[in-house]
Chain A
């Protein structure tokens, strides 16, 4: 059965990407690779990875990329986001990090990064770095279920795959209801609304990624580095 691999937070690490490609070859039935942003980061020269993503090596699973928080910050600081000027990364990480981020990506790659989409809708799933509200929206298993339901409702999807928090989790809305009573000039109406069965899935970051099987709705959390250790130790 066809499966998807969902990865985020490579942050320019080409060796990690090669390791992930090797790991995915060992996974059965992985037909699609989605990279949910943070392809670049301030700690690496990102150019080799960006080249490989644009021109995959023979045998690579074709990557489908969207932009993440770090791409958004870089593009903002390079004038691709109107008046925005990447204040968030400056405040969060400081000027030095920000300078290193710019130094790690050649100007020739900016148009490709700027062409990346905010997210994908595949079947009834939303694939986004942050959420339907913002690329920097950090959702995890402790986020209010009401807020998660809002993020799902805004996109009108049954499953939202997110990466910003770097956490691996699945939070399933399994039940619940609310009464809505509206009074206006025509009278009063009361309605019961039930919570739809929907999920938010955190895919992890870096070597930790997620495999999703749309046919069975099964999610499994993987670690490329752990899988590699097991291989060396003869567990697989």
Chain B
């Protein structure tokens, strides 16, 4: 995502750090050292006004997911925030993936659910709808 657009989302939320999910891909993104220079002309102004806006440092953190991994391995992910220091760490947890995959198959769910869990990413061509494209 465009860095300025990402910063705008955090600013619109009115926070210093925006935690999100949805993509199942854990990351910590720090946006810093930003500025925007503008030249403004309005009706009635004799000369354009030039200004520089200093942008605040902000963070976007995606917690990843504990199921349906899409970050390239089979581990469950989450993040831990230390509210005192502000440190954020991505945690990865191993578990018995084979057992969970077998449970998916035993429950009669589509094979692709187990395949996805075992490989850590969504393989669109293996989905039942071959026209499905996974966008992220």
Contacts and interface: CB of A to CB of B under 8 A. Distances in A.
Interface stretch (A67-75, A87-95, A111-119, A176-184): A176-184
B42 interface: yes
B34 A145 contact: no
Contacts of B43: 168-169, 204, 208, 221
B30 interface: yes
A174 interface: yes
Contacts of A145: 36, 38, 53
For chain B, which range describes its interface: under 10, 10 to 19, 20 to 34, or 35 or more residues?
35 or more
A185 B92 contact: yes
Interface string A153-183: 1100000000000011111111111111111
B78 to A, nearest CB: 12
Contacts of B25: 184
A232 to B, nearest CB: 21
Describe A's contact surface by its main secondary structure.
strand
Contact of A184 (B4, B27, B39): B27
A167 B41 CA distance: 11
Contacts, number: 119
Interface string B24-63: 0111111111111111111100000010110100000000
Nearest to A171: B40
Contacts of B39: 171-172, 174
B36 A176 contact: yes
B33 A178 contact: yes
Contacts of B92: 185
B42 A193 contact: no
B102 interface: no
A193 B4 contact: yes
B32 A179 contact: yes
A167 B52 CA distance: 22
Contacts of A184: 25-28, 71, 90
Contacts of B42: 141, 167-170, 202
8 contacts: A146-B7, A150-B4, A172-B39, A174-B37, A177-B34, A181-B30, A183-B27, A195-B4
